[in-house]
Amino acid sequence: MYVAVKGGEAAIANAHRLLADRRRGDRTLPSITIQQVVEQLGLAVDRVMAEASLYDRELAALAVRQARGDMIEAIFILRAYRTTLPRFGYSEPVDTATMKVERRVSATYKDLPGGQLLGPTFDYTHRLLDPSLIDDAAVEEPAVKEPGEHVMRVSDILDGEGLIEGDGRMPEGHVMGDLTREPMEFPMARDLRLQALARGDEGFLLALAYSTQRGYGRTHPFVGEVRIGEVEVELDLPELGFAVSLGVVRVTECQMVNQFMGSAKQPPQFTRGYGLVFGQSERKAMSMSLVDRALRTDEFSEDIVAPAQDQEFVISHADNVQATGFVEHLKLPHYVDFQAELDLVRRMRRDYDAARTGSQDGMKEAAE
């Protein structure tokens, strides 16, 4: 029997009032503004945009502030917000070759057109806490230099020699899928997997990527290139008959180059994994590219021997909004379910005791 239970309205209202108070914190301190979050916690904003799968820095900053800095809560809020908006259409694919590059490094070539551009990186810092930030010390203006030549894509360099597989092509007649419009089905095509990975949880993908490096589905990777910068987003306007620019978004792209595959029909060549993420997040883009490559088992006839190669396992568990929903729902009232379980275990205990007493009686009789 299901018994509906009401109650707790006042407690819930007061809990949310308390949450608002704790979110604001000490009233003698100034409140942080959305622009301050955008400017000074930019990478938190980027992560929320990437995993909410919605590019809007102000809204993501608002979500970070509203969630008290709880990233998954912020992602959840922004993901929920996007469902309230109508879809105007699909953009033209962004062209990362024409990116306004703010950082580009390659681990495969030292000297390459465009050079190694470190950009605003944590790499090579000593990871020592910086006490000067406590007192808000003045910050130097960045150094400047005359810009060099066009930053060529590393995959194009290797491609010229035919030593690397081309950019990914889907089978003839394949219709591009959209996770936000169709339910998940397995096996899942690479375009849909990339959409799922692009909004997947950074920590989950990082752990899976790490597992491939430690031998669970090894792919022998090199970072061909990581690049960060702005790309233009264009939308086709049917009323005009051409595509117009809507502005620019910052993305991070990773071209992972992996060890060779060849066959009787094709000479050995490097294979590839691809990562593309909203905002500045090379950890996520690199993880995505490693997992993308690991998941391409069907294309290379690889045995599925590790979690990172199992697309149903990876894709079904990569979304942290779904994951947190299912894990966290356990704390909501389960009084009726638990009462039923309690009844069941009591009955089992009675049966157990009865059986034990019965058999002891039997043994006793046998001994006499």
Residues 181-200 that bind another protein (CB under 8 A): 190-192, 194-195, 198-199
Tell which residue, 316, 277, 272, 276, has the closest CA to residue 294. Answer: 272
Using CB under 8 A, pick the residue from 8, 25, 69, 148 that binds another protein. 148
Taking the C-alpha atoms of residue 219 and residue 216, their distance in angstroms, rounded to an integer, is 9
Binding of residue 107 to another protein (CB under 8 A):
no
Using CB under 8 A, pick the residue from 91, 108, 269, 297 that binds another protein. 91
CB count within 10 Å of CB 71 equals 18
Pick 32 or 152: Cβ nearer another protein: 152
Binding of residue 162 to another protein (CB under 8 A):
no
Site track for another protein across 251-280, x = CB under 8 A: x-x-x----------------x-x-x-x--
Tell which residue, 204, 254, 247, 284, has the closest CA to residue 44. Answer: 284
Peptide bond into 268 cis (omega under 30): no
In angstroms and rounded to an integer, the radius of gyration of the C-alpha atoms of the chain is 27
| C-alpha pair distances (Å), 271 with each of 187, 193, 268 | 21, 17, 9
Binding of residue 101 to another protein (CB under 8 A):
yes
Binding of residue 248 to another protein (CB under 8 A):
yes
Nearest distance from residue 312's CB to another protein, in Å?
A: 19
Using CB under 8 A, pick the residue from 30, 131, 142, 173 that binds another protein. 142
Contacts to another protein from residues 23-52, by CB under 8 A: 49-50
Q: What are phi and psi of 26, to 5 degrees?
A: -60, 115
Q: Which residues contact 73 (CB under 8 A, 6 or more apart)?
A: 67
Taking the C-alpha atoms of residue 57 and residue 174, their distance in angstroms, rounded to an integer, is 33
Binding of residue 250 to another protein (CB under 8 A):
no
Segment lying near another protein (by CB under 8 A), choices 102-110, 131-139, 314-322, 328-336: 102-110
- Total residues belonging to the chain: 368
Binding of residue 53 to another protein (CB under 8 A):
yes
Contacts to another protein from residues 66-85, by CB under 8 A: 82, 85
Using CB under 8 A, pick the residue from 38, 41, 107, 117 that binds another protein. 117
Contact by Cβ (8 Å): 278, 50: yes
Size of the site for another protein (CB under 8 A): 85
Question: What tokens were used for 296?
Answer: 């391409």
Taking the C-alpha atoms of residue 232 and residue 226, their distance in angstroms, rounded to an integer, is 18
Pick 74 or 211: Cβ nearer another protein: 74
Nearest distance from residue 138's CB to another protein, in Å?
A: 18
Tell which residue, 23, 318, 365, has the closest CA to residue 192. Answer: 318
Binding of residue 160 to another protein (CB under 8 A):
no
Segment lying near another protein (by CB under 8 A), choices 12-20, 235-243, 304-312, 326-334: 235-243
Pick 156 or 302: Cβ nearer another protein: 156
Nearest distance from residue 330's CB to another protein, in Å?
A: 29
Binding of residue 130 to another protein (CB under 8 A):
no
Question: What tokens were used for 41?
Answer: 């916690």
